[in-house]
Structure 1
Amino acid sequence: MNDPMKDQPQDGLENPMQHPEEQPTGSDGSPKFGRLLIVLVLVVILIGFITFASEWLYS
């Protein structure tokens, strides 16, 4: 019932250009949303600071 060759490529048909298998990303594969959130908050604060500073400077 279980065919061991079922998961194996048949003469390169599953991978016709002979690309290597995908490499795992990161240490455990989970995305780092905490760092992204911190960077996003800092960018928003920086844009707000530039907005208020330019308003103060040019008015």
Structure 2
Amino acid sequence: MSEKNEHPEAINEDNPMGHPEEQPTGTDGTPKFGRLLIVLILMVILIGFITFASEWLYS
């Protein structure tokens, strides 16, 4: 029984199992965390504002 390989060009010394190439994560290969970081900072500021406003209003 012989094994049939679907992608013979993918097999080399660096990729002996024939896995597909990894997808790029960004334009230069680095993950994009800027937008998420900005949203998280804005949410912390909003929660802080709500906390101080409720303390001022109810005390």
Structure 1-normalised TM-score?
A: 0.50
| Residue in structure 2 matched with residue 34 of structure 1 by the alignment | 34
Structure-2 change in CA distance of 1:25 and 1:33 (3 Å): closer
Root-mean-square deviation (CA, aligned residues, Å) is 2.5
SS at match of 1:31: coil
Percent sequence identity over aligned pairs: 87
1:56 aligns with 2:56: yes
How many residues are aligned here? 48
Distance in structure 1 (CA, Å) of the matches to 2:29 and 2:54: 42
Structure showing greater relative contact order (alpha-carbon pairs closer than 8 Å, 6 or more residues apart): 2
| Residue in structure 2 matched with residue 45 of structure 1 by the alignment | 45
Distance in structure 2 (CA, Å) of the matches to 1:34 and 1:57: 34
Structure 2-normalised TM-score?
A: 0.50
